[in-house]
Structures are given as structure tokens and as C-alpha cells.
Amino acid sequence: MNVEKNILWVLLIFTVVSCQIFDKSENRIIKEYYNPKQSMKVVVFEKMGNATVNNSIQASIQGYDYELDNEEIGNVFVADQFESSKISKDSILTVNWIDNETAEFTFPHKIRTFKKEKQFENNIGKVKILYQTTEKIDLTKVPDSLDLIADKNLEGDFNGDNKTDFASIVINKNNQKTGVLIIHNSDNQECFVFGAGKEIDQMTDLDWIEVFETLPKGKIVSPTLVDEETGDIIGQDESRNFELIGNGIYMSVEESHGGGIIFWNGKEYEWYHVE
């Protein structure tokens, strides 16, 4: 009799524990990233619950009209959220479509990954997946004379070494002039300042910047030719076409296409004026 009771207790405990372990989890969309053609998207989502694959950040490549449900398990990427609990969920995994068939995933180098597919294919198309990891930039390297503009920061591999660098619009406290700061994610964390009192393309103040964003690796950029006498736009100088080694930085005024591109040419940063 006691043996039967013990067996019943074991079965009861197993049932309760099993229900907890395999409890149906909830998926919450963090962000969706569409390819340029708007035919496919990467859905980055958080899976809640008790099972091993839960409490994680996951990603699935789907058609543009796919709607996430609670049954979905990331078909290309799954990472442990525990080790990144101090990081904003929006920053654990970011995606950049290089073209319609290539997506670049960026995530902190310290988190543990369970799935990292290098390619994905469905009835809509085939996608190649690239990965790069980030390491924290030491912002104490920012010169004391410069103030960072909090909502004008960028992350990207600006010098093409497959590490995530930092860029920000800054104001020089000594002369109140605006510029751009780039800090490399390297042992020395080198700093580069453009504007803010230093001349770049015959300018020392870049206070006109309203649009501040990254350009994808591999993009072809060229400067705009302008008639020196009339100021009329002639067109793009295709003789100076350059395929970006790292992410470029594009700056412009919102109501105008005029601005500039800062990019790494393999030895140093270069500026192209664009219209």
C-alpha cells in the first residue's frame, strides 16, 4: 500500500514539474528588419517561459507578411538572454540587410549562442547570414573637450576590421562647434574628430547635420561634382567610385540631399561631398 502511494506521489510530482518545464511560452517581438525589396524580414523576438529554449533572444527569417505566434522557435538564431540581462533587449541582436539576399547579425561577444545558421532558404528566397560581435567601447576615451550628443550615436564596423566601433555627433566645449567623433574598437581605442574646430572639406563646424546614419559595407559611393563658378551640380564623379570597406557614415540636412560621407579608405578616413 505504501509502495503504491509512493508511486502515485512520484507520478504527481513528475506531472507538475513536467507542466512547468514544458509550459507554453509567450513570444514578444523586439523588432522586425525588412530586406530592401520588402520581400523578406528578420523577426527578432524574446521567448518567455521555463524551458531551455525560453528566456532567450531568437530570430527567424520569414516572408514580409508573416505574423509571429507563440509556437515559433528561431529558425536562424537563438541566444541566452541571462548573460545579457544588463543590456537593452533592443540592443542584444541587431540586423542590417546588406542586400536582398545577405543579412548581417550583430550581438555582444559575451552572450552564449545555441543556434547560428549561416544560410536560410524558403519558398521566397535564399539568405546568407553574416555575424559580427560587439565589445563595449570605453567612453572615457572621449576627449574632455567634447560633449556627446546623447541621441546622435552610431555603432558600426567603420574601419572594416569586423569589430563594432562607436561614432557620435559632438560639441566642442571650447568653441561650441559641432563635429563627428569616431572611436575604434581596438586595444588603443583610437579617436578621430571631424569638424568641432578641425577642418574637414573646408568646414570647421558641422552644425547643419540633421540626418546621421550608417551606410552598409560594400556600397559604392562617389563625390558630387559641383561647378566652382556657378555652384551648379554637374553629377557624380564616377572616376572616384569607392566600394566601402567598412560601414560609412552619412550626414545631411533633412530637407535637402546635400551632405557628406565619412569612410575608411584602408589607411585613413576620407570625406566625400554629396548632393
**Mean pLDDT over residues 81-94, rounded?**
62
| Residue where one domain finishes, among candidates 115, 134, 153 | 134
Residue 15 pLDDT: 44
- 233 part of a folded domain: yes
pLDDT at position 23, please? 45
Same domain, yes or no: 94 and 147: no
What's the pLDDT at 135? Answer: 67
For residues 59 and 68, give the distance between their C-alpha atoms in angstroms, rounded to a whole number.
Answer: 11
Q: How many domains does the chain have?
A: 2
**pLDDT at position 143:** 87
Of 76, 102, 134, the residue that ends a domain is 134
Q: Which of 20-29, 89-98, 104-113, 207-216 has the highest average model confidence (pLDDT)?
A: 207-216
Cβ–Cβ < 8 Å for 41, 35: yes
For the whole model, what pTM was predicted? 0.54
pLDDT in tens, 197-243: 999 988 999 999 999 999 999 999 988 887 677 666 777 878 889 99
Rounded CA separation 119/117 (Å): 6
With beta carbons less than 8 A apart as the criterion, state whether 185 and 165 touch.
yes
The answer to whether residues 146 and 83 belong to one domain is no
Residue span of the structural domain in which 54 resides: 23-134
Q: What is the mean pLDDT of residues 145-149?
A: 90
Say if 9 falls within a structural domain: no
Pick the residue with more confidence: 48 or 106?
106
Last residue of a domain, one of 134, 158, 185: 134
118 and 180 share one domain: no
Mean pLDDT calculated for residue range 95-124: 89
Q: Which of 108, 275, 96, 267 has the alpha carbon at shortest distance from 192?
A: 267
pLDDT tens-digit map of 15-72? 444 444 344 578 899 999 999 999 999 999 998 765 555 578 999 999 999 999 988 9
Tens of pLDDT along 230-270?
A: 666 777 878 889 999 999 999 998 877 678 999 999 999 99
The answer on 195 and 130 residing in a single domain is: no
Three-state secondary structure along the chain?
Answer: CHHHHHHHHHHHHHHHHHHHHCCCCCEEEEEEEECCCCCEEEEEEEECCCCCCCCEEEEEEEECCCCCCCCCCCCCEEEECHHHCCCCHHHHCEEEEEECCEEEEEEECCCCEEEECCEEECCCCEEEEEEEEECCCCHHHCCCCEEEEEEEEEEECCCCCCCCEEEEEEEECCCCCEEEEEECCCCCCCEEEEECCECECCECCCCCCCEEEEECCCCEECCEEECCCCCCEEEECHHHCEECCCCEEEEECCCCCCEEEEEECCCCEEEEEEC
Question: Which three cell numbers mark 118?
Answer: 549561416
Domain membership of residue 232 (yes or no) is yes
Q: 177-203, pLDDT tens digit by residue?
A: 999 999 998 888 899 999 999 999 889
Q: Tell me the mean pLDDT in the region 2-7.
A: 54
Instruction: Give the model's pLDDT for residue 16.
Output: 44
Specify whether 153 is located in the same domain as 126: no
User: How much is the pLDDT for 236?
Assistant: 80
